[in-house]
């Protein structure tokens, strides 16, 4: 069984997206167009995201107009999107819309991942649900040199330092990269 990894960029003041659910603040930071492959989780078999993250990426990357691009970014990996509404799906993309809590669907997601890792891309409430049921192995953050006035919080939960073990802290271009092992509750 693979690991469940939350890996996302966040603003310096702890937001995943601005008040309009936009990640444009991230793309406004100078640097390479393509993300550093060393910043991406390895051996990913499944993506999991919230509806706002999915919709923003769908629009930003114009996947509905250019569905073939989906495979360039996601390959043949299934993407599970937690939502309360019907959402558009690019032609040929393996997107599975889920309603309800993470706990209800985790066995199915794990089965789809097989021995590969599960990459939780966002958002904060989704991250919180994985933590609530003690099913997160790694918390990886790329902290951007930017702030937003309001938006989607990285984690709308309290988690004590007794549950996080720092395993990496480094510079990645203009970003700070932090990785933590998430320790299981005793």
In the chain, domain spans: 4-25+43-182
Cα separation, 138 vs 60, in Å, equals 27
Question: In this structure, how many other beta carbons lie within 10 angstroms of the beta carbon of residue 99?
Answer: 10
At the topology level, CATH places domain 4-25+43-182 in Dihydrofolate Reductase, subunit A (3.40.430)
What count of residues does the chain have? 186
Q: Reply yes or no: is the peptide bond before residue 51 cis, omega within 30 of 0.
A: no
The predicted model scores a pTM of 0.93
Average confidence (pLDDT) over 44-64: 95
- Token pair listed for 146: 């930017």
Nearest to 182 by CA among 133, 146, 142: 133
What is the DSSP pairing of strand 4-10 with strand 15-18?
unpaired
**Tens digits of per-residue pLDDT, 126-136?**
999 999 999 99
Cα separation, 12 vs 14, in Å, equals 6
């Amino acid at each position: 069984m693979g690991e469940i990894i939350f890996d996302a960029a966040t603003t310096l003041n702890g937001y995943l997206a601005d008040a309009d659910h936009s990640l444009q603040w991230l793309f406004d930071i100078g640097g390479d167009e393509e993300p550093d492959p060393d910043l991406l989780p390895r051996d990913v078999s499944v993506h999991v995201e919230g509806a706002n993250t999915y919709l923003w990426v769908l629009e930003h990357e114009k996947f509905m107009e250019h569905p073939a691009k989906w495979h360039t970014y996601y390959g043949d990996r299934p993407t599970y999107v937690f939502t309360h509404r019907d959402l558009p799906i690019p032609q040929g993309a393996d997107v599975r819309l889920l309603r309800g809590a993470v706990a209800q669907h985790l066995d199915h997601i794990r089965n789809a991942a097989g021995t590969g890792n599960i990459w939780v891309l966002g958002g904060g409430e989704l991250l919180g649900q994985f933590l609530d049921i003690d099913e997160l192995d790694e918390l990886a953050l790329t902290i951007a040199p930017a702030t937003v006035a309001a938006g989607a919080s990285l984690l709308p939960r309290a988690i004590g330092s007794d549950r996080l073990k720092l395993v990496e802290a480094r510079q990645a271009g203009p970003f700070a990269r932090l990785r933590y092992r998430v320790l299981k509750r005793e």
